């Protein structure tokens, strides 16, 4: 079960400082920044931290990356101020405090604030925040009181929120996160269905009767130089978004062959994400609304879904699974000041599945001065770049169809002759991607049952599968 109790659901009431629990989480400021560092939302709850904290934070994060040490950690301290931040939909959600608080709880709080704002606005991005700043500030004043968390429940907040959201045109948005990859206008997946506010009705005052389920998996795989899998892990979430009136009871059935805990068996020998064989999870936890009375018998979850978006179940899997991509790399010296890199990416999934937004990156020797690229004939939607500041090769592919193989050749020019092993001074190769309607664990929702029948003809129930790369690395 959840160990963080942020959804207490108690009646709101301003409490005196003396009545606060000593172990309560307390934050001084909360703000949201754009990728450019623009301050979109700022709320100072206690006046303990200097007003320029947002600028100090952004400068620190920006220079952290430019110094070549990678992205800034989610928590760091500057002049006695603790900064906590998460990145959601391209926006930086930040909290500051001078006291010693639980880092995991503050990071979870930031994620839940982002989720609540998305529930009320429908779409979470810079445009929607600017258009609905009055509603956002109203939400923040109810979620946090004098730096202390009151509630992050979308359903509880409905009693205290009175502003109506101003909807943005989702068709003009460049990206909506995982939902964007499904906006292809298919009949069973209405594109704008999950980008509407939970408090907004349909035109004509009609109530919406819709419920959506996503299985989102982030996979981490490390390959050896010979192509063998060294480590593999799946962090998955069954995400639900409910627009059902009356909060009816829901039954969600998972795989009959689902096992929890290490059983010592290998499930590597399947051909696709929907093959046969047991699904073995290392561990899992559930949302507080889930009842597990029949879970051990028939792998069915019973719950009364709260309004908005929430994770029904989180799970982790470290058993062997078939990785969606294979990466092969070859580096050859072509002279005293030259070398050639050959990168091959092969999609190991079915040909009726397509991966989107693929990015392959490879660090090069520090003395690399120039890189020329050669793509395979007929390559479409490919872009290449050499980031000279951090000596990194980047190869972007718009999409990859299952079963296909793509090759990139890069000719490197050096400023000095290499006196060591070029292979050791390069790599590892990393890869990010998103694959709709594919899940590596093969966890499935067999059916979804709604106890209360609705008279509405507009009842959508769909399950979407999404696989994303959390850490996908090939050593040289």
Give me the CATH number covering residue 66: 3.30.450.60
Percentages (nearest 5) of helix, strand, coil residues in the chain: 15, 40, 45
Q: Which of 156, 183, 200 is the last residue of a domain?
A: 200
pTM beyond 0.75, yes or no: yes
**Angle 246-248-252 (CA atoms, 0-180°, nearest 5)?**
150
CATH of the domain at 453: 2.60.40.1170
Q: Determine contact, residues 129/136, Cβ cutoff 8 Å.
A: yes
Candidate from 36-50, 144-158, 176-190, 272-286 with smallest mean pLDDT: 176-190
Please tell me whether residues 160 and 46 are part of one structural domain. Answer: yes
Task: Let me know whether 311 and 376 are in one domain.
Answer: no
Same domain, 291 and 315: yes
Q: List Cα–Cα distances, 470 to 90, 217, 390, 411, 433, in angstroms.
A: 16, 9, 21, 29, 9
Residues 106 and 165 in one domain: yes
Residue 385 lies in a domain: yes
My answer on whether 466 and 318 are in the same domain is yes
One domain for residues 253 and 159: no
Quick one: 210 and 167 in the same domain?
no
What is the number of domains present in the chain?
3
Does 18 reside within a domain?
A: no
158 shares its domain with 218? no
Report pLDDT for 272.
Answer: 38
211 confidence band (pLDDT: 50, 70, 90): confident
Tokens of 11: 């009646």
Q: At what angle do helices 133-143 and 103-121 cross, to 10 degrees?
A: 140
**Interacting residues of 328 by C-beta distance below 8 A, sequence separation 6+:** 227, 342, 343, 344, 346, 474
Residues 449 and 352 in one domain: no
CB 460 within 8 A of CB 206: no
Q: Are residues 158 and 98 in the same domain?
A: yes
Instruction: Please indicate, yes or no, whether residues 315 and 330 belong to a single structural domain of this protein.
Output: no
Please say which residue of 200, 226, 243 terminates a domain. 200
pLDDT, one tens digit per residue, over 410-447 is 999 998 876 668 888 898 999 999 999 999 999 999 98
Question: Which range marks the domain in which residue 44 is found?
Answer: 1-13+24-200
**Domain shared by 291 and 218, yes or no:** yes
pLDDT tens per residue across span 46-76: 989 988 999 999 999 988 865 555 678 999 9
In a domain, 19, yes or no: no
């Amino acid at each position: 079960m959840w160990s963080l109790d942020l959804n207490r659901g108690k009646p709101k009431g301003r409490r005196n400082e003396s009545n606060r629990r000593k172990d309560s989480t307390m934050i001084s400021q909360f703000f949201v920044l754009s990728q450019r560092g623009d301050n979109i939302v700022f709320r100072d709850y206690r006046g303990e931290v200097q007003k320029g904290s947002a600028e100090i934070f952004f400068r620190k994060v920006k220079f952290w990356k430019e110094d070549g040490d990678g992205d800034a950690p989610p928590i760091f301290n500057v002049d006695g101020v603790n900064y906590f931040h998460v990145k959601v939909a391209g926006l930086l959600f930040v909290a500051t405090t001078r006291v010693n608080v639980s880092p995991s709880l503050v990071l979870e709080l930031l994620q839940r604030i982002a989720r609540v704002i998305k529930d009320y606005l429908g779409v979470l991005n810079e445009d929607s925040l600017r258009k609905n700043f009055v509603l956002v500030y109203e939400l923040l004043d109810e979620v946090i009181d004098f730096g202390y968390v009151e509630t992050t429940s979308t359903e509880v907040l409905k009693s205290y929120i009175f502003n109506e959201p101003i909807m943005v045109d989702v068709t003009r948005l460049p990206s909506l996160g995982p939902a964007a990859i499904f906006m292809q206008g298919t009949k069973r997946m209405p594109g704008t269905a999950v980008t509407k506010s939970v408090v907004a009705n349909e035109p004509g005052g009609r109530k919406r009767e819709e419920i959506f389920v996503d299985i989102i998996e982030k996979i981490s795989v490390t390959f050896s130089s010979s192509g063998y899998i060294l480590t593999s892990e799946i962090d998955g979430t069954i995400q639900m978004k409910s627009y059902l009136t009356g909060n009816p009871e829901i039954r969600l059935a998972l795989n009959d062959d689902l096992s929890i805990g290490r059983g010592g068996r290998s499930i590597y020998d399947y051909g696709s994400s929907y093959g046969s064989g047991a699904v073995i999870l290392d561990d899992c936890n559930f949302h507080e609304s889930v009842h597990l009375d029949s879970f051990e018998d028939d792998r069915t979850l019973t719950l009364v879904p709260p309004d908005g978006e929430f994770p029904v179940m989180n799970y982790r899997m470290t058993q062997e699974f078939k990785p969606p991509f294979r990466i092969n790399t070859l580096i050859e010296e072509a002279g005293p000041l030259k070398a050639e890199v050959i990168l091959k990416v092969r999609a190991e999934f079915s040909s009726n599945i397509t991966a989107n937004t693929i990015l392959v990156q490879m660090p090069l020797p520090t003395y690399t001065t120039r890189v020329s690229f050669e793509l395979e004939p007929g390559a479409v939607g490919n872009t290449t770049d050499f980031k000279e500041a951090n000596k990194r090769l980047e190869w972007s592919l718009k999409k990859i169809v299952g079963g296909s193989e793509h090759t990139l050749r890069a000719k490197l020019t050096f400023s000095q002759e290499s006196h060591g092993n070029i292979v050791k001074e390069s790599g590892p190769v990393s890869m990010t991607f998103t694959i709709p309607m594919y899940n590596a664990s093969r966890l499935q929702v067999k059916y979804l049952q709604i106890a209360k029948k609705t008279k509405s003809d507009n009842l959508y129930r769909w399950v979407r599968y999404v696989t994303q790369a959390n850490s996908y690395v090939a050593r040289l």
